[in-house]
Amino acid sequence: MKAEINHEGSKYSIDFSKPLDISIPLRGDAQNVNTWYLGHPRIEPHEEADFVGKVSLGSSVNFNDIWFNPHAHGTHTECVGHITEEFYSVNQHLNRFFFLAELVTVVPELQGDDWVISKHILEVVLPKKEIQALVIRTSPNDRDKLSRQYSNTNPPYLLEDAVDYILSKGVEHLLIDLPSVDKEKDDGALKAHKAFWNYHGQLRKQATITEFIYVPDAIEDGPYFLNLQMAPFENDASPSRPVLYEIQDV
């Protein structure tokens, strides 16, 4: 289904019949992507007295309990409430769901023992225009990102100067295929998170970070229309399903 849309004064042609899903599905076993030293998610039939919620075991319905952590077990979108003492719900502060987005692929560079994304790397790949939503794919981009066990692996992360540069481009929504924008073990410094949400100033309550996406190589770098779908959890973070659409100027 093709449609012409008017978004902030510009017209675009979008084919909504061709979504590009860049989320990682959640599954209830050890093959699920995982980090932060947690066990894998569980999706199990609810059991109570003589009731077992599974049709193949005699129940009239399948009735599963699900245990997971949004930060550790898959694609999720988070707000400033992730790092503040005061409670902020991502469900209350993400109240728009369509954005112009730019997809870029970066190769982290080695600094000491860490692979990092620096300002210099982003200066090379980001267009000169302002950007509402930025989608970062890291290379190499193996499909094992869909099931990788990240705990105690020191994954790549964003340097603070890279985040400052992202903010200078006007980015409100940052999406990345890593478990965190910060170093796995940084003694709670959280420099990238704090810079992105202006933790020491006027909080950017409307801004979001989406982590644990996966962008297949077949999706080319460039501009897209982003639908940032999210489950309505009243929490600092919620499972989400970002979807890209190719766009054409009218």
Domain membership of residue 20 (yes or no) is yes
- Is residue 247 pLDDT above 60, yes or no? yes
Q: Is 198 exposed, middle or buried (0-12, 13-18, 19+ CB in 10 A)?
A: middle
**So what's the pLDDT on residue 73?**
98
Domain membership of residue 202 (yes or no) is yes
Domain membership of residue 124 (yes or no) is yes
Please give the tally of structural domains in the chain: 1
pLDDT, average across residues 202-230: 98
Q: Which two tokens stand for residue 16?
A: 């909504």
**So what's the pLDDT on residue 51?**
96
pLDDT higher at 1 or 197: 197
**So what's the pLDDT on residue 59?**
96
Cα gap 77→58, rounded to integer Å: 38
Question: What's the predicted TM-score (pTM) here?
Answer: 0.95
pLDDT, average across residues 82-107: 97
Domain membership of residue 36 (yes or no) is no
Domain membership of residue 188 (yes or no) is yes
**So what's the pLDDT on residue 4?**
78
Domain membership of residue 117 (yes or no) is yes
Q: How confident is the model at residue 11 (pLDDT cuts 50, 70, 90)?
A: confident
Average of per-residue pLDDT values in the chain: 96
Q: In which domain, by residue range, is 107 found? A: 2-25+71-249
Q: Which residues of 36-48 are buried (b: 16+ CB within 10 A; e: fewer)?
A: eeeebbeeebeee
User: Residues 135-163: pLDDT tens digits?
Assistant: 999 999 999 999 999 999 999 999 999 99
Q: What percent of the chain has pLDDT over 70?
A: 98
User: Residues 187-215: pLDDT tens digits?
Assistant: 999 999 999 999 999 999 999 999 999 99
* DSSP assignment letter at 34: B
- Is residue 250 pLDDT above 70, yes or no? no
Domain membership of residue 131 (yes or no) is yes
CATH number of residue 150's parent domain: 3.50.30.50
**So what's the pLDDT on residue 3?**
73
